[in-house]
Structure formats: structure tokens, C-alpha cells
Amino acid sequence: MSEPRLVRNPLVAKGSVRSLVDGSRAFHRSMPDYRPTPLTALPAAAARLGVGSVHAKDESRRMGMPSFKILGASWATYRTLLAYLGHTADSGIELADLKTELASRPGLRLVSATDGNHGRAVARMAALLGLSAHILVPEDMVAARIDAIAAEGAKVEVVRGGYDDAIRRSAELADTDSLVVSDTSWEGYVDPPSWVIDGYSTMIGEILDDIDAGTVPRPSVVVAQIGVGAFAAAVARGFRNSAGTRLVGVEPTDADCVTASIEAGGITTIPGPQRSNMAGLNCGTPSVIAWPDVSGGYDTFVTVTDTAAEDAMRLMYADEVVSGESGAAGLAGLLTHARELGLGPDDHILVFSTEGATDTANFNRVTGAALAGE
């Protein structure tokens, strides 16, 4: 495993970052269990980093799922089905009516590759709509994450190799009855993954509301962990006009495809499979539609070890935030690189705890907690 590193981004071009799309928010409000997630103060993390404050957007409970990914998966599934049925994006059709209409298409299924959270969320959407789901996962995925996807009623296929191999297999399955709802994009496949990024706008909008209302300080540093970069693209869009806010992207040392691409000056695939403990970030190729906002929006990219992710999980849990390996990666980036980032008492930091304990056994081992599996 390579050493953690910090790369200042020579491609930064904030003016080129696209703006947030807000169509998803009204849709999410209409979904079962929608409510804004908390922005929780992390005083133990602030003390360790020597900064003014740290707040975490806590996505451990989002519409009945343990990660933010349902926001993108639900909006992308909805938009994909509207397009498939020939409805316009602004048709305002409710999920219940969509389900009724889909009942006349019994062979239809949703297909997605995942390193855990996105596929589980697509499976949940399929179940809500009465469709079947076929979810492809990399061979090293832990049983707890596979079981969670299967428990949504999906067929789970374990693909030899890593996340990129699962993506390739999902693309092969696309046909008129098999709609691929992927969170990453590639040449010729861009609409559903761009709707995934749009769906994350709901979370960013909640945060901007809190900042505007003064319930949390305006952040001087915003940190986003990166797999293929869809999430980081949504974050960049949210803070594109926030002068004086530094954006930091964080990847595992073993899954640093965006950092490597920045260093190479363009999208690069790194050798796989990626095997960091931050399963959601184990990706080998940046998403082509996320790339412009990620490469233009972030000031700095850093990489972190599995040990640092576990340290950050414990530190968050000290402030009662349950954060899984990928969820804690953003804070891990700050803990690892605080000195080079030049953090100080005037800094107010926003991190995203993007998942809860998606591997409960490991969470309990790392933190000493005794949570029951979901």
C-alpha cells in the first residue's frame, strides 16, 4: 500500500463548476421517511485538529437506509423510469402511480453494480416499485453488505475482480428489459449517473439552508471522500460560489483514482482490484461526468490509510456519530494531513459522515461499541 500523500490541484477552475440542480428536493420530500439529516458538532475532532469547529452531516439514517446513497439512487431510478415510459421529467408523476403503470411490464428489472450502498439503495427502489433488481458486487465484498442487498429482495451476483469489473458486467446486461442505474458514467452512458449527482443536491441544499440560517458556521474547509467522484461533484456544485471555502477531496491510498488522475492531468484508471477497508471508495476509474466538477472544484486531494479511517471512526463515535469506514474517510483525511493543510483555530470544518455502520461487526471491533446488525 502506498504512503498517504497530499496533492495541490493544478487543474482547479472554480468558475467551471456547474450549479446545483434542485428538481430532486420536492421528489425526495414526497418519499417515505424523508427528513433532513442532522449536522452534528464534533467537539472531540475539533480539539484534536486544533480548529474552531467541526460539523458532520450525519447520513447514517437517510430514508430508512444507512447512507446518503438513496438520494441519488431514488432520483436516478425515478428519472430513468420516466424516460423509459415516455414521460417528461416535469410530469410530476408520484411513485405510487409509477408503480401502478409498471405493473403492466412484468419482465422489467433494474441492474446496478455497487461497492455496497448504491446497489442496496437501487434494490430498495426496485422493491418499492414492484420491480426486480440484479445487483453486481466485487468479489471481496464482506458478507454483511451482500446480505443487506439481498435482504432488499435483489438478486446479488458476485463478480470476479473489483468494482470496475462489476461495472463492466452491469453494462453488458443492459437491454430493453434491464435498465442500468449506475452511479458512475462512461463514454455513451451518462444520463442515470448525472441524475445520481443531481439527487445528492437534496443533501447539499439541507446544509446550505442550515448555513444560511446561522445554525452552523459558514465552513472555511469542506471535505468530501471520493469513490468515482459523483458525491464530490455534488459537494463542489454546492460550494462553487462560496469564496474563501477550501475544498479537500479524500481517497484511500489503495483506491486513489482521482488523485492519480489529477497528477496525470486527465482521467486515469489505476490497477485493481482495490481492497481498502473503505469499501464505498474502492473504485479504479473516475466518473467521466463527475470529473469536470471534481477536477475544477477541489483545491487539494489527500489519501488516507485504513488505519486512519479506523481512527476517525473512533473519534466520531466519541461524539456519538456512528460512521462506517467510508463515512469517516473525510475526517481521516484531515487527521492525516492537518499540518500540511495548515488548519488552525479560525477554521470551521464541514465533513460528511456518508454512511453508518454498514459492516457492524467491524464497526464494533474498531470502536468497542456493541451495535446490533441491521
Ligand X SMILES: Cc1ncc(COP(=O)(O)O)c(C=O)c1O
Contacts to ligand X by CB under 6 A: 67, 69, 115-118, 183, 225-232, 280-281, 283, 326-327, 354-355
Task: With beta carbons less than 8 A apart as the criterion, state whether 177 and 108 touch.
Answer: yes
Q: Is the Cβ of residue 115 or residue 347 nearer to ligand X in the bound state?
A: 115
Q: Is the Cβ of residue 108 or residue 351 nearer to ligand X in the bound state?
A: 351
Q: In what order do the strands lie in the sheet with 348-353?
A: 6-8, 300-304, 246-252, 221-225, 348-353, 53-58, 39-41
> Which of 203, 270, 253 is CA-nearest to residue 230?
203
- What gap in Å lies between CA 60 and CA 369, rounded to an integer? 15
Instruction: State the nearest-atom distance from the C-beta of 356 to ligand X, in Å.
Output: 9
Instruction: Break the chain down into helix, strand, coil percent, rounded to 5.
Output: 40, 15, 40
- What gap in Å lies between CA 329 and CA 279, rounded to an integer? 11
**Cell output for 24:** 430532486
Instruction: State the nearest-atom distance from the C-beta of 117 to ligand X, in Å.
Output: 4
Instruction: State the nearest-atom distance from the C-beta of 370 to ligand X, in Å.
Output: 22
**Which stretches of the chain are DSSP H helices?**
23-29, 43-49, 69-85, 95-102, 117-128, 143-150, 163-173, 191-213, 230-238, 257-264, 291-297, 306-318, 329-341, 360-367
Instruction: State the nearest-atom distance from the C-beta of 44 to ligand X, in Å.
Output: 21
Instruction: State the nearest-atom distance from the C-beta of 68 to ligand X, in Å.
Output: 7
Confirm whether 177 is a catalytic residue: no
Q: Is the Cβ of residue 117 or residue 276 nearer to ligand X in the bound state?
A: 117
Catalytic residue among 69, 198, 254, 306: 69
Instruction: State the nearest-atom distance from the C-beta of 173 to ligand X, in Å.
Output: 20
Give the CB-nearest residue to ligand X. Answer: 280
Catalytic residue among 115, 256, 311, 359: 115
Residue 161 backbone dihedrals phi, psi, to 5 degrees: 105, -155
Q: Is the Cβ of residue 118 or residue 124 nearer to ligand X in the bound state?
A: 118
Q: Is the Cβ of residue 98 or residue 164 nearer to ligand X in the bound state?
A: 164
Instruction: State the nearest-atom distance from the C-beta of 328 to ligand X, in Å.
Output: 10
Q: Is the Cβ of residue 223 or residue 349 nearer to ligand X in the bound state?
A: 223
Measured torsion, CA atoms of residues 18, 299, 241, 328, in degrees rounded to the nearest 10? 90
Confirm whether 183 is a catalytic residue: no
Task: With beta carbons less than 8 A apart as the criterion, state whether 207 and 39 touch.
Answer: yes
- What gap in Å lies between CA 189 and CA 164, rounded to an integer? 15
> Which of 336, 335, 314 is CA-nearest to residue 325?
314
Q: Is the Cβ of residue 55 or residue 108 nearer to ligand X in the bound state?
A: 55
- CA 319 to chain CA centroid, Å, is 22
Task: With beta carbons less than 8 A apart as the criterion, state whether 330 and 250 touch.
Answer: yes
Give the residue numbers marked as catalytic: 69, 115
